[in-house]
Chain A
Amino acid sequence: MRHIPEEELHAYLDQALSRSQCVEIEHHVSECVACRRERDAIAALRDRTTALLVTASPRWIHSRPYPQLAEVLLERQDRRRRWRRVAWAASLVGAVGLGWGVSRWQVSDAAPPAAVATAPVPPPADTSPTDSRTQPATSPARSRAPGPAGATPVRLAGAPRRAAESVDPSQPTVPAPNGAELLSSGDTDGQGAPVFDGVWRTVSWDRASEASGAWVPRVEGVPVVQVKVRQTPHGGRPLTVVTQQLASGEVISTVEGPAAEVASLLSRQPGQSATAELQDLPLAAGTADETSNSVGAAQPGAARTLAIIGKLPADSLKAFMLKVR
């Protein structure tokens, strides 16, 4: 005869078994003395356990009326709602501030694809330092000219705040390389400007003027943030890139150099989608001499090209081309 396991008797007394199991156990217990004794012992153990646990109870239990709990909940939900509102407002302010900061400090990668405006430019026929048109920034006429950048200073990512704030739109502001020229491999431009291959030197405005024979083209009235030069394989006047930042934060680069090299550079610019040939347009900021020179000197291998690169519509770049000096 199979005796009933202890745990089954516990479950039986705890009414945790099915009706059929209970009937089976009761039938067995009525016939088996050992199991009956075991059942009684377990029942006594169960009662003792219950009695001990009753001892370990608080002497009085106070309860709030149920509606009071509902009030607590409502009050809590109301408080949470208020906090959420405050948190939402705070996060909104934070997000707006962050967005404003980012737009001010960085040139977005999501800007329109770069367009390029090019025009043949005169070779350095007249590189005389006495020519006032080629003198950077110091010309009174230039300093009077209101630039498209307006009066709002624009900071670049990574650029020192004080330097950026002191930018005069009418003056070229080249970051001084502390006397030493910085060598870069061209693709390290972190300011949103186009990437140029080859070994470039970041130089001050004065050095750029010296290296290029005192003629470094740039868009008038827009703060200059960087000037780079690269020697040409055949010597002579180097390739120059003047990076300037508009009030909107966009960066434009004025490239000037031998036509073949400029074309080669432009062909490697990512996102280049439009090219505006400006041969038929007069260079407003230039002189008749310059224009005629460019046309006259457009000989194979000797011609130089001026191009403006930026993530702007081609029309805008053409407009800037008219302001190149």
Chain B
Amino acid sequence: MRDDLEILYQTTYAAVVRFLYRKVWDADRAEDLAQEVFVRAMAHHPEKPRAWVFAVAANLARDEARAAVRRKRHLTLLSGEPTQRHVAEPEAEENVEHEEKMAKVRRALDALTPRDREVLLLWDAGMSYPEIAAQTGLAVGAVGTTLARARKRLVEAHDRMERENVRGHAAHS
């Protein structure tokens, strides 16, 4: 059992981190949560470890999002004024470009319904249709339909932002 889990850790850890990163948008936090998921898996020895790992990861990400909302509200209450934004250090052009691209994808993902987003992220993490169906409560036959809609909407939302960005740059110049 432990050997199976170790193999799962080696083959799935990165996918779990990516899955969590697209929910919490913090690389360090995503790694911490992913490690927490595998530590819990070692303690529980689940029957279907792969599905279990992603289910727990989704729950942890949800808890994290709630805690973040609470933290934000608390800070706002403490300061009595909007929280200050973190001012990033000047970064290399490459990094800036990457951040911009990522921000667009993030906004495009945010434009999806929670169910479409979940199905898309689970599919990208390598989950099969039956596993996705089991985790989301959808029928296996509905996974294909949901995935088709999610892919289309993600690309549409992203392209729309690209067009708006181009128009914005043109207006500035």
Interface residues on A, range: 20 to 34
Closest partner residue, chain A, to B154 (CB atom): A49
A234 within 8 Å of B (CB atoms): no
Say whether A284 faces chain B, with CB atoms less than 8 Å apart: no
Is the beta-carbon distance between A7 and B148 smaller than 8 angstroms? Answer: yes
B22 touches A53 (CB 8 A): yes
Give, as a whole number of angstroms, the nearest-CB distance from B40 to chain A: 9
Chain B residue nearest to A64 in the complex (CB): B35
B70 within 8 A of A: no
Closest to B132 in A: A16
Q: Which residues in B have their C-beta under 8 angstroms from that of A72?
A: 35, 39
1/0 per residue, CB under 8 A from A, across B27-44: the answer is 100110001001100110
- Chain B residues, CB < 8 A from A52: 105, 108, 154-155, 158
Give chain A residues whose Cβ lies under 8 Å from the Cβ of B129.
11, 14, 16
B109 at the interface (CB under 8 A from A): yes
Chain B residues within 8 Å of A66, by CB: 6, 9-10
- Which one of A54-62, A165-173, A193-201 contacts B? A54-62
A56-B22 contact given A10-B148, A63-B14, A69-B42, CB 8 Å threshold: yes
A12 to B155 Cα, complex, angstroms:
20
Whole-angstrom distance between the alpha carbons of A291 and B64 in the complex? 86
Chain B, residue nearest A46 (CB): B151
Nearest chain A CB to B31 CB, angstrom units? 6
Measured between alpha carbons, how far is A276 from B78 in the docked complex, in Å?
77
**Contact A14/B42 with A46-B151, A49-B151 known, Cβ cut-off 8 Å:** no
Binary contact readout B119-152 vs A (1 if CB under 8 angstroms, 0 otherwise): 0110110001100000000000001110110011
Contact of A58 among B18, B109, B120, B145 (CB under 8 A): B18
Say yes or no: B43 contacts A6, CB within 8 Å: no
Provide the residues of chain B in CB contact with A69, threshold 8 Å: 9, 35, 38-39, 42
Beta-carbon contacts under 8 Å, A16-34 to B: 16
A61 to chain B, nearest CB (A): 5
Contacts of A64 on B, CB cut-off 8 Å?
Answer: 35
A127 interface residue, CB < 8 Å from B?
no
Contact for B39 among A50, A58, A73, CB less than 8 A: A73
Distance (Å) between the CB of A34 and the closest chain B CB? 17
| Interface residue? A84 (CB, 8 A) | no
Question: Is B71's beta carbon under 8 Å from chain A?
Answer: no
By the criterion CB–CB under 8 Å, are B98 and A59 in contact? Answer: yes
Q: Is the CB of A63 within 8 A of B13?
A: yes
| A161 is an interface residue with CB less than 8 A from chain B | no
| CB of A261 within 8 Å of the partner chain | no
> Which A residues touch B124, using CB under 8 A?
49-50, 53
Among A42, A53, A58, point to the contact of B30 (Cβ < 8 A). A58
- Please tell me if B53 contacts chain A, counting CB pairs below 8 Å: no
Assuming the contacts A48-B155, A52-B154, A66-B10, asked whether A16 and B143 have C-beta atoms less than 8 A apart, the reply is: yes
Residues of A within 8 A of B50 (CB): none
A125 at the B interface (CB under 8 A): no
